[in-house]
Homo-oligomer: A and B are copies of this chain.
Amino acid sequence: MSRIALLLFGGGVVALAGAVTFMAAASGQSEEQDSAPIYGIKFPANFREWQLIAVNNLLIAGKTDQLRAQLGNDIAIKAFKEGKVPFPDGAIIAAIHWTRVRSQDNSNVLTGPFPGAQSFVVGSSVNVQFMVKDSKKYAATGGWGFADFKGREPGNEALHETCFPCHGPAKNHDYVFTHYAP
């Protein structure tokens, strides 16, 4: 466990509030194989237990239609609630992306009281992205490391090279687009 923590957080020992644990390397694989490239982030096994930051919806006509939720570990949630930027070291934000699909069952129920109602629910998981704050290790990218997984398989290096440039316009909010939902 300490070796994994060191891989994630470089030379510093970072105290993570809450029970943040990381998946051990799959049997027979080296640890490198299930770490995301560039930033070396491993899949945080328990992220689905973290608190909700916000939800959103991304549409790209003819290509992408997603429902999304952002979750945060305890350090991230505390910072979001206090409205403090930059986020402290140890903060981790997870962004879960699912396909958005029409629920015919739900729509049928709703069109009784609400004519024309359409209910959309999550379909399948598309990917899960993480931002890990370590101001020393990731100094060159605003203090953030980035990771993108499909299932528990990390994306390739080319994909991960797009993360930080894309987050650049959110520099005034410490490179984080998401705000805490009321």
Interchain CB contact (< 8 A) of A177 among B54, B98, B106: B106
| CB of A28 within 8 Å of the partner chain | no
Do A59 and B121 touch across chains, with their CB atoms under 8 A apart? Answer: no
| CB of A3 within 8 Å of the partner chain | no
Do A67 and B63 touch across chains, with their CB atoms under 8 A apart? Answer: no
Do B48 and A57 touch across chains, with their CB atoms under 8 A apart? Answer: no
Do A57 and B67 touch across chains, with their CB atoms under 8 A apart? Answer: yes
10 CB-based A-B contacts, threshold 8 Å: A48-B52, A51-B51, A54-B122, A55-B55, A57-B121, A59-B117, A60-B117, A63-B116, A69-B69, A122-B182
Shortest CB–CB separation between residue A120 and chain B, in angstroms?
4
Distance, CA A179 to CA B123, complexed state (A): 11
Q: Which residue of B lies closest to A59 (CB)?
A: B118
Shortest CB–CB separation between residue A94 and chain B, in angstroms?
10
Q: Which residue of B lies closest to A118 (CB)?
A: B59
Interface locus among A9-17, A30-38, A107-115: A107-115
Which chain A residues in 86-139 approach chain B with CB under 8 Å? 96, 98, 100, 103, 105-106, 108-110, 113-122, 124-125
Shortest CB–CB separation between residue A98 and chain B, in angstroms?
6
| Number of identical monomers bound together in the oligomeric complex | 2
| CB of A64 within 8 Å of the partner chain | yes
Q: Which residue of B lies closest to A168 (CB)?
A: B109
| CB of A8 within 8 Å of the partner chain | no
**Contact A51:B48 (CB < 8 A) given known A59-B118, A125-B182, A166-B113:** yes
Do B114 and A56 touch across chains, with their CB atoms under 8 A apart? Answer: no
Shortest CB–CB separation between residue A41 and chain B, in angstroms?
21
Interchain CB contact (< 8 A) of A162 among B57, B105, B113: B113
Which residues of B lie under 8 Å from residue A118 when comparing CB positions?
Answer: 58-60
Do B57 and A69 touch across chains, with their CB atoms under 8 A apart? Answer: no
